Amino acid sequence: MTNYGLVIDQERCIGCHACAISCKQENNVPMGQFWNRVLTEGGDKMDTPSGGYPTDGGNGSLDMQYQPTACQHCENAPCVKVCPVNATYTRDDGIVEIDYEKCIGCRYCMAACPYNARVFNWDEPEHMPEEGTGDVPARPQGVVEKCTFCSHRVDEGLDPACVVNCPADARIFGDLDDEASTVSKYINQYETHQLLEDRGTKPKTYYISGEMSPGRPQTSDKLESELDDVQVWSDGTDDVPADSGSGGSAGSSTGGIHSVDDDAVGDAVPHVPAVDAGGDD
Ligand code: SF4
Ligand code: SF4
């Protein structure tokens, strides 16, 4: 059965906020609201580095890491459990959605969500421009709304807008139950983590962070084919291939990567549809 999920490669993320902005455009998210946000790790505010500035000609320790976040489409979603009118529900393909006609605005789901993924329309929503780029009905005042993995696009075989519009290809969307999908390959092949795993919500957004895993393609225009060509080594003790022959990372080997079951790395399934596949991006 199809089970949609997302991988966000934080080593590729450049903090440009294109995902957040394209989400607003596509889903006509009201002014002052975001379904999709790019937080900064370490600094006090958005886009502020952690560490210290260089002083007296010395070395500083400034560092800026980005943490994109949105609804994690949890498998064990607390928001679904607490909704008293079943307005929040999980689709057969794993996407957590809200029926805005049923929502009574009690905000139990906001309180239950540990990821702060939901926003409430306190006022009459203001849209600028009035129409979004996607075919998504506007949400009224008095309901909670959130990321839908762009289910209207997914239903047409397209990737979410944030995935298509990420200039660094840091976002990879697909079917977690399909071993041949690029998301499954990333999760099988590289070290990933989920946010607040100890809460038991089983989020379906996976993150890759830290040093670029050996063999992971840094450039992404041939992402899927490169992933198939990647030469894998077990624990960083083997020689790193000087050239994978695919444009993948050939830098120093730090940290191990998961061994790969060759059977699980079959023909890649492109996660970005061809330009002539339709859509509005
Ligand atoms: S991230 Fe929050 S809103 Fe999204 S499914 Fe999980 S609990 Fe629900
Ligand atoms: S605010 Fe709406 S979606 Fe959230 S729990 Fe209440 S009725 Fe359900």
What does the pLDDT look like over 120-156, one tens digit per residue? 999 999 988 888 889 898 999 999 999 999 999 999 9
The answer to whether the CB of 272 falls within 8 A of the CB of 163 is: yes
Tell me how far the alpha carbon of residue 159 lies from the centroid of ligand 2, in angstroms.
27
Going from N- to C-terminal start, the domains of the chain cover 4-46+63-224
Give 187-239 pLDDT, tens digit per residue: 988 889 999 999 999 999 999 986 666 556 655 444 555 555 554 433 434 34
What is the position in ligand 2's atom list of the atom closest to the CA of 110? 4
Q: What is the average pLDDT value for the chain, to the nearest integer?
A: 80
Closest of 153, 44, 144 to residue 104, by C-alpha: 144
Give the chain's count of helices (H) and strands (E): 7, 9
pLDDT at position 190 is 85
Percentage of residues of the chain with pLDDT beyond 70: 74
- Return the SS3 of 39: strand
- Closest ligand to the CA of 145: 2
Ligand 2 contact via 104 beta carbon (within 6 Å):
yes
Q: How many angstroms is it from 142 CA to the middle of ligand 2?
A: 10
Which among 224, 280, 278, 227 is positioned nearest to 249, based on CA atoms?
A: 227
Whether residue 119 has its Cβ less than 6 Å from ligand 2 = no
At which residue do the structure tokens 């239903």 appear? 155
> Is 207 strand, coil or helix?
strand
Among 51-60, 182-191, 220-229, the minimum mean pLDDT is found in 220-229
**Number of the ligand 2 atom closest to the C-alpha atom of 107:** 1
The answer to whether residues 162 and 19 touch, using CB atoms and an 8 Å cutoff, is yes
Ligand 1 pocket test, pick from 6, 72, 103, 206 with the greatest ligand atom count within 8 Å of Cβ, gives 72
Query: From the CA of 115, how far away is ligand 1's center (Å)?
Result: 7
Nearest residue by C-alpha to atom 6 in ligand 2: 106
* Tens-digit pLDDT profile for residues 239-269: 433 333 333 332 222 222 333 333 333 333 3
Atom of ligand 2 nearest to the CA of 99: 3
CATH number of 4-46+63-224, picked from 1.10.10.10, 3.40.630.40, 3.40.50.720, 3.30.70.20: 3.30.70.20
Percent of the chain with pLDDT over 90: 57
SS (H, E, C) 87-132: CEEECCCCCEEECCCCCCCCCHHHHHCCCCCCEECCCCCCCCCCCC
Indicate the pLDDT class of residue 49, thresholds 50, 70 and 90: confident
Which pTM was predicted?
A: 0.77
